[in-house]
Amino acid sequence: MISSPVLESVISLFLIILVGVYASRKKIITEDLNQGLVNLLIQIVLPVMILSSFIYSYDQSIKSEVVKTFYYSLIAYLLMFSASYLLLLPFKSEKKIILHFANVFPNTGYVGFPVLYSIYGTEGIVYGSVFNLFFVIFVWTYGIFIYRGSLDKTNLKQELKQTFLNPSVLAVGIGLIIMTLNLQLPNSLITSIKNIGNITGPLSMLIIGVILSKAKIGNYTKDWTLYYGAICKLLLIPIIVYLISLLTGQSSKAINSVIIMTAMPASAMTSILAQNYNRETDYAAVIVSLTTLFSILSIPVLLKIIL
């Protein structure tokens, strides 16, 4: 059963969303400022938080779980690919492209990491970082394939290079080296890293609040595909992953962290790539906003089921 402190932590994160909504409506956080905050989060704050999670002294059992998380995450993505494909078989329009991408790629950065930290602390971030590693790799390969319909082989090498040079991927690599070799960093550097990383939760929620404040959900209130998509993304697919995990007879913080990550709302990349490839742009923006809004209710429900 989900504990009261965990539930309170998760709810407190989403209350910060309301601050973001207010700040956006009052023009305290403008569109340009929010873009700057997004860049700050993705390029600096989130990678630093990932790095900070690896600095702690972990025992051998946790290090072993980190290794297992690599194949837990890979299996989870394969299940998300398959489950989404089957659940969306009735769809024939371009909306299927948007919903499939949204189902496969959860919002690990803005929402996933803050939620994991509120539940499992730095240990959860370590497991989530491995999951996020696969997110980055797949979003720039399979994700591009979803929108484009094919891979651009001429630019594939360059895209893969950019993928592995992503700040979050580099942070995981550096963190694994620190953990494996038990490197001791200066206290002043550790303090700075942790302080910057601690900004991730509040900053992420403020950004989400700004995004939600601009969503034109009212124009799509009668579109049943949005609600079906949100149910698939937030409940059906995570529950399928959870049920498959039960069949293995194994349970751990690592497995739970991966399941929790699959239950996050649709990634902002859903909307960004839709705009880039001119595919149902408004629809993509709404599904991102709607799943984020509904996740305020669905995440506590899922946590109650799996914890």
The residues, ordered by sequence, that sit 6+ positions from 202 with a Cβ below 8 Å of its Cβ are 16
- Asked whether the predicted pLDDT for residue 1 surpasses 60, the reply is no
Query: In residues, how long is the chain?
Result: 307
DSSP 3-state of 123: helix
Tokens of 75: 């299996």
pLDDT average, residue stretch 163-171 = 85
Ordered domains of the chain (ranges, CATH) = 55-190+214-306 (1.20.1530.20)
54-58, 88-92, 106-110, 255-259: least confidently modelled range:
54-58
User: How many other CB atoms are found less than 10 A from the CB of residue 23?
Assistant: 18
**By the 8 A CB rule, do 117 and 125 touch?**
yes
Which pLDDT does position 156 carry in this prediction?
66
The residues, ordered by sequence, that sit 6+ positions from 218 with a Cβ below 8 Å of its Cβ are none
Which pLDDT does position 84 carry in this prediction?
96
Which pLDDT does position 23 carry in this prediction?
95
Tell me: the pLDDT tens digits for 173-199?
998 898 888 888 899 999 999 999 889
82 confidence band (pLDDT: 50, 70, 90): very high
**By the 8 A CB rule, do 117 and 124 touch?**
yes
**By the 8 A CB rule, do 109 and 46 touch?**
yes
pTM of the model: 0.85
Share of the chain above pLDDT 70, in %: 95
- Asked whether the predicted pLDDT for residue 24 surpasses 70, the reply is yes
Tokens of 245: 């995990």
pLDDT average, residue stretch 78-100 = 93
- Asked whether the predicted pLDDT for residue 3 surpasses 60, the reply is no
8 confidence band (pLDDT: 50, 70, 90): confident
pLDDT average, residue stretch 233-243 = 96
76-90, 180-194, 203-217, 228-242: least confidently modelled range:
203-217
Give the residue from 21, 55, 52, 83 showing the smallest Cα distance to 229: 83
128 confidence band (pLDDT: 50, 70, 90): very high
pLDDT average, residue stretch 43-55 = 89
Which pLDDT does position 44 carry in this prediction?
93
Which pLDDT does position 151 carry in this prediction?
60
The single-letter DSSP state of residue 45 is I
Which pLDDT does position 208 carry in this prediction?
83
